[in-house]
Amino acid sequence: MLRRQLLGFGLVGGLQLLVDWLCFVALTAMGAAVVPANLAGRVLGASMGFWLNGRFTFAAKGAPPRLGRGPLLRFVVFWLAMTALSTLAVHQLDALQGLRGAWLGKPLVDGVLAVISFVAAKYWIYR
């Protein structure tokens, strides 16, 4: 079961990261500031990720998906904390390395946060 969850979380997370990053790059390339662009990308990716992980990755076989109010509230609390860390890091990358540095660094930042997110999702959000 753990292997299936890791694989599912990795696939969903990879798709989430791609959607988030593409949104971030597109918005900043059009002139949006880094912080709001990062927030927009994370909201888009998180919306998709919450549903996919609750419906498939952490759903118990034969049970309804774990998408109720409890998991949603825990997800939002955790997402706010991770988004604050991501946004702070991407803002710092932009300040130190410029926009291209933020573009390149964002997947690395969010990839590190994904490891923490798996543990939180498995043992707290979708419990």
Q: Which helix (H) or strand (E) holds 41?
A: helix 34-52
Q: What is the pTM of this model?
A: 0.88
What's the pLDDT at 127?
85
Per residue in 44-99, pLDDT tens?
A: 999 999 999 999 999 888 888 889 999 999 999 999 999 999 999 999 999 999 99
Q: What is the DSSP string of 86-126?
A: HHHHHHHHHHHH-HHHHHHHHHHHHHHHHHHHHHHIIIIIT
